[in-house]
Each structure stands twice: as structure tokens, then as C-alpha cells.
A and B are shown apart, each in its own frame.
Chain A
């Protein structure tokens, strides 16, 4: 979260400090927020960690302590490793493509003077579509028998079979996931671009005629705080929020189609009723995301200059 808040370089004048007469009062104000976090985040996390050490009958009649066996089973499974590597590739592709296209569109839209708001509205409106609906639209586009995208691909000799061919399904999933996320990135990049002071732009314009170089050396560094924030958001999106899209696109029968780790957690836990195994997988995922976030803040954030 520190990514969003700007760190003032120069010590600002001390803000007016609100004084509480009672030491307990601030805690009282914090209580609702804390309660929400504890009930909806910490408590389920603790439960997940706890049940990951057990093999349990779904109805809760009996459970057997198995130590790390659930973790060992997951990590040793070829299928799990296959899904993990797909998840990594999927996350990198979705994050990179949706950031890159979002940035490109934002830069172009920022340069438009006439009808700017019409362009922006058109680009942003996609964001209002819920992920399962996006998945549904995607599924119809890529339907084996009637999908217009499949017919278009056929002109180029590509016999696209989403749901049957691993690569084709992966392509369709990345396509729909990126399409869904572009507007979000677009909004942030556009507001980031509009925050670049006119004076800086004009000064840069005098110094350098090359538009690409100006973008690379002046605009981009000023956009970095936005980009870093979006990077984290997009990785989380690709890892977790694409669930609805994937579910709809594999028509709840994954077979040998690519799925992400989150979908596997759901599949084993809710469809397979294997609570122990599913909990162990979600703990693994939790650790990965935790590590990823630390790496990002430790190493990437240092290179970012907050204006």
C-alpha cells in the first residue's frame, strides 16, 4: 500500500494532530475495520493452514492428522507442477500484455484533442463487464461450431478448437483476460499521464524533438509510481480474478485444458470435496503471493521515484 501514498522528500510542516482524550477511543474507531479483517481474512487463513495438515471427511465426522503429506502430495504431482507452470506463463503474459496495451492506448488517447471523452468512454466501458460475463462473451466468440473468431481464424488456416486443444484454449483465455483488464490499466495510465505537469512537457519538447525519446526519458519515469501500482494489481488479477473467465471458458470440465492454481484449489475443494488437499494448495499459493509481494517492494520499489 505504501506504493500509492507519496513519500514527501522534504519534511512538510507538521499537520494538525488530532488528540484523543481517551487512549481507547482510537482503537474503538479502528475496531470495525479490524473486525472485518480478522473475520474475513485472518480467521479463514488460520483455518486453511490448520486443515492443510489433515485429511478430512467432507461432512466433518472424522479427520486424520497427516502432517505435511498434503503438501508433499501436491508438490510431487506432475499435474500440479504442470498447472503451476501454466499459471506462471499465464500471469506473465496477461500482466505484460494488458499493461503494454493499456499504456499504448492511454498515450494515444492523451494525444487526442477532439472527441477525447468519446474515445475514453468507449475504452473504459469494457471495465464495467463482470468477469463471468466477459468469459461468456469470450466463450461465444471462440465457440468451436459458431464462434466468429474461430471462423476468422479458419481463413488463415488455423483450425481453432477451444476446449480440445491446449494451446487454443490457452490463447483464448489470455485473449479474454487481457481484453477485460485493459480498460482498468487505461484509466490509471491516462490519469497518470494527465498528472505530468505541462511545464515539464514543454521543457522536454524544447530539449528534444524525438517523441519516443521524450516519452522514454521524461514521461515514463514520471509514470513509474502508477506503473508499479498497476503491476501488483495486474499480477493479482491474473492469479486470482481471472477465475470467472476460466470457469466459463472450460465449461466446468477442465479435462486437459489449461487452468490456473486458483481454479485447481476450487476444483479439488468444492467439486472434489477434498478439504485437506485443497487447503494445502491454497496455503502454497498464499506463500507464493506473499513472497512475490515482498520481492516487488524490496527490489523494484527502490528504483521508483515518487515525484
Chain B
């Protein structure tokens, strides 16, 4: 009996300790695993140690999709976290839900901090913003699709890494003759569809790529340039210049790691992992584009995810969320995150800081993604906002598999994706209405 009482007393003592410290607790749900989740824990510890008013608790909710689904379920029962990480394809879902989130910019300015949109690098600035450019989500882990180069293969074949698809066509046969598969790519939806539009500065969807309204938005998926790209891919596959191993990311990355492939299109964030797994020296370059398309060569959309401040929280907690966002964008923290994970630095200051310390001389590959995002932007390389987009991606994945299995033509496949995708967009407009 005595022990029970003393334990209770002890517990009481503990709770009073936390209460007297008067720190406000906030929660952060994210969709990162493994080494990246560990970095998130380190970030949180750094924040908690940097001040005493707020204490953040990060919780891993599985994958990006699971994090979004948990966030939604929690919101519906009034148990939402303060901060939810939402990935690029899920952005429309959360931004179009009126009142689910407090725009990051409002939150930060409201808490008395300064907010400068221009501090963020070009490619990061618009994607999670509204059509007026106000930041709704706080860009967090950002990546760009870049092309990794097996340097040995290029030396053996005696050709240079291509900058354009025209150069690729010229160089690929030599790589094939040298005994390599010239190219694989890990996520065609991201690298050859969404970012085909951004890299070539072509409109992706009506209503200003979906930013202006959900009503009547349609995708430009039968664009002749896009069709041409996939016809070329299919042609290259038949000629043995491109290999396709399905929609799984790793299935297309593995042969590159094994040194069988000369070029692999992956994410700028893949670089940390590749350093451990690649069996040969490698470098990287920008995602190629067609020089024949007028105005091509613009920057790509950011991939990755952003942090959203969920509504329905107390002012004290919101103030903490705002100071955490401030903390995240400070150059020191950005640089730490960039170097620990391989995701790009999202502010110019952080990039300059890493550069001045000579980081990119040691790790030139780490700079490629940022440089690609800092390329001049066009009207159509700022971002896209399409509802039910994860499902639209699934349709694309299905049809792309069918293209490369020879079950359908490129034209037919894109017509199917457009019909089914536009139907989903119309359905999404109904949910918002």
C-alpha cells in the first residue's frame, strides 16, 4: 500500500514538474521512416533545446499516404495534431478543404514574425501556396527529379552525359554497345509526366494548373509533346535503350546500383542512399528536356512534402507551431537537414551557407537538385493543384505498365488517363461543393 502511494506521489510530482515548466506541447505527425525519421527526431530535439516555451513531439504515421489518412481521420474526430506532413500529390486534398488548415504565412505573421516569400528558392515558392502566392503549407522536405550518371559507363562508351533528349538519342547506342542498359527511371508519373510539363513549360491543367478553381478542371494529357515523349520511351525500350521494371521505385533503381545501367532518373533525395548502395562511382545532372520544344529548360516542380498547421488549436499552441516553422527555415537548421537527408535546402540563405562552407565541392551531386529548382521558372513550372491526384497517379501507373507491355498504344493510354482522370477531378469538385 505504501509503495502504491509513493508511486502515485511520484507521478504527481512529475506532472507538476512539467506543469511548472509551463511549456506548451505541440504534436507533429509525419510520414517518414528509417533514417529520415531519425533526422526528424533530431530536429525536434534541437528545437526543444533551443527554447523553453514549446515542446514538440514528432510521431511517425507510416508512409506519406498513411500520414494523410490518419490526419484526416483525426481531424474528423477533433483529435488532429498541430502539424501534419502532406506530400505533393495530396496537397490539393488538404488545401481545398476550407478551414482544415491555417495558412502557414498567416500563422507566422500572426505570431509576430517576419515572413519573406523571396527568401525561398524559386522552385519552392509556389507549389504549396494559393493562387495569390500566399504560403498555405510550409515547404519541408523538397526534392527534384534528377538524372544519375554511371561515370564508368560513360568513360567506357566515350560519350558525354546528355543534357537533352536529342543528345540522349545520340549517345545511347554507344552505351548499349559498351554493354550497359542506357537508361532506367523510377517514377514515370513524377519524372515524365508532371515534370515533363514543368521542364518544358507546358500547361498541365486548365484553371491555371488547377490553382484557380476545382470547378471544371481538365488535364492536358493528350498534349502532342507528351505523347511524343512516351512514344520515344516505348521506341527506346524496344531498341534496348531504355529498360522499364514496373511502377516500383526500387525495381528500377537496383540495376543502376548494380552498375548495369548508365543513367537512372531518380530523386535528388536518393543521393544519400546511393552513396551506400552504388557499386560504382556516380555523378548527377539535370533532368533532360527536348531542345526542339520551344521554351523548354525551365525548372521542375518540387517533390517531397510540406508541413501544414491544422486548425482548431489554441493560440498558445499556434504560436509554438509558428516558432517551429520559423526555426525550420533558419539557415543553420536548413543546412543541417539538407546535409543529413539529401533533400534540397529550401532557402537561398541556407544554400549560400552550405556553399560557402565548401559542401558542394565535397559533394557535387548534392547541389544538382537545388540548381535545377533554381533554374528560371516559366508560367507552368510553378506547380499544379489537382484533387484526388494520388488516384490519378495510380491510373497513370496502370496505363504506363500497359504501354510498355505492348497492350495499348501511347495515344490510347493517354486518352484513357484523361477520361478517367478528368472524371475524378469532376468528382473532387463535387466533394468540395
Which positions in A face B, CB cutoff 8 Å?
A: 55-64, 66, 79, 143-146, 161, 163-166, 251-257, 267-268, 270-274, 277
A59 surroundings in chain B (CB, below 8 A): 72, 75-76, 94, 97, 100
Nearest CB of A to B390, in Å: 5
B248 near A163: Cβ-Cβ < 8 Å? yes
Count residues on chain B whose CB falls below 8 Å from chain A CBs.
46
17 contacts between A and B (CB under 8 A): A59-B72, A59-B75, A60-B76, A61-B98, A61-B100, A62-B431, A63-B431, A143-B251, A144-B246, A253-B247, A253-B248, A256-B397, A256-B399, A256-B405, A256-B407, A272-B388, A273-B388
* Chain-A contact segment, one of B62-70, B121-129, B194-202, B363-371: B62-70
Task: Say yes or no: is B400 at the interface (Cβ < 8 Å to chain A).
Answer: yes
Of A56, A255, A271, which one neighbours B246 at CB under 8 angstroms?
Answer: A255
Please provide the 3 A-B residue pairs with the shortest distance between their CB atoms, ordered closest to farther: A255-B247, A164-B246, A255-B397
List, in ascending order, chain A residues with CB within 8 A of B96's CB. 57
B431→A64 contact, CB < 8 A? yes
CB distance from B50 to the nearest CB of A (A): 32
Q: How far is the CA of A55 from the CA of B248 in the complex (A)?
A: 31
In the complex, what distance in Å separates the CA atom of A79 from the CA atom of B421? Answer: 13
B313 within 8 A of A: no
Interface residues of B in 397-413 (CB under 8 A from A): 397-402, 404-405, 407
Return B153 CB to nearest CB of chain A, in Å.
18
Q: Which residue of the partner chain, among B254, B391, B400, contacts A268 with CB atoms under 8 Å?
A: B391
Query: Any chain A CB within 8 A of the CB of B99?
Result: yes
Report the bound CA distance from A57 to B428 in whole Å. Answer: 8
A134 to B63, CA, bound (A): 20
Contact B254 A273 (CB under 8 A): no
A143: chain B residues at CB < 8 Å are 251
Contact B254 A58 (CB under 8 A): no
Across the interface, name the chain A residue whose C-beta is closest to B395: A79
What is the bound-complex CA distance between A129 and B152, given in angstroms?
43
Instruction: Map CB proximity to A onto B137-179 as digits: 1 under 8 Å, 0 otherwise.
Output: 0000000000000000000000000000000000000000000
Q: Are A163 and B245 in contact (CB under 8 A)?
A: yes
Q: Which residues of A contact B430 (CB under 8 A)?
A: 55, 64, 66
A252 to B432, alpha carbons, bound, how many Å? 27
Question: Which of B248, B251, B405 has the most C-beta atoms of chain A within 10 angstroms of its own C-beta?
Answer: B248
Contact A145 B72 (CB under 8 A): no
B34 interfacial by beta-carbon distance below 8 Å: no
State in angstroms the CA–CA spacing of A189 and B69 once bound together.
42
The CA-CA distance from A15 to B391 in the complex, in Å, is 59
What chain B residues lie within 8 Å of A166 (beta carbons)?
405
A255 and B433: CB pair below 8 A?
A: no
- Indicate if the CB atoms of B63 and A252 lie closer than 8 Å: yes
Given known pairs A145-B255, A164-B244, the reply for A255 and B401 (CB within 8 Å) is: yes
Chain A nearest Cβ from B97, distance in angstroms: 4
Q: Contact between B72 and A256 (Cβ–Cβ < 8 Å)?
A: no
Query: Could you tell me the distance between the alpha carbons of A273 and B97 in the complex, rounded to whole angstroms?
Result: 12
Residue B427 CB within 8 A of the other chain: yes
B391 cross-chain contacts in A, Cβ below 8 A:
267-268, 271-272, 274
Instruction: State whether the Cβ of B258 lies closer than 8 Å to any Cβ in chain A.
Output: yes
In the complex the two chains form, what is the Cα distance from A73 to B65 in whole Å? 24
Q: Is B41's CB within 8 Å of the partner chain A?
A: no
Judging by beta carbons under 8 Å apart, are A253 and B258 in contact? no
- Report Cα–Cα, A60/B94, bound state, in Å: 11
Apart from the given pairs A251-B247, A255-B394, A272-B394, 11 other A-B contacts in the complex at a CB distance below 8 Å: A57-B97, A59-B72, A59-B76, A60-B76, A143-B251, A255-B398, A256-B397, A256-B402, A273-B68, A273-B390, A274-B388
List the A side residues contacting B247 at CB < 8 Å.
Answer: 163, 251, 253-255
Cβ-defined contact, B394 with A267, below 8 A:
yes
When chains A and B are docked, how far (Å) is the Cα of A95 from the Cα of B269? 44
Q: Are A58 and B93 in contact (CB under 8 A)?
A: yes
Q: Is the CB of B405 within 8 A of A165?
A: yes
When distances are taken between beta carbons in the complex, the residues of chain B under 8 Å from A253 are 246-249, 394, 397
Residues from chain A with Cβ under 8 Å of B420 in the complex: 79
In the complex, the answer to whether B390 meets A145 with C-beta atoms within 8 Å is no
Instruction: Enumerate chain B residues within 8 angstroms of A277, measured Cβ to Cβ.
Output: 427
List of B residues within 8 angstroms of A62 by Cβ: 431-433
Question: In whole angstroms, what is the CA distance A145 to B431 when docked?
Answer: 43
CB distance from B187 to the nearest CB of A (A): 9
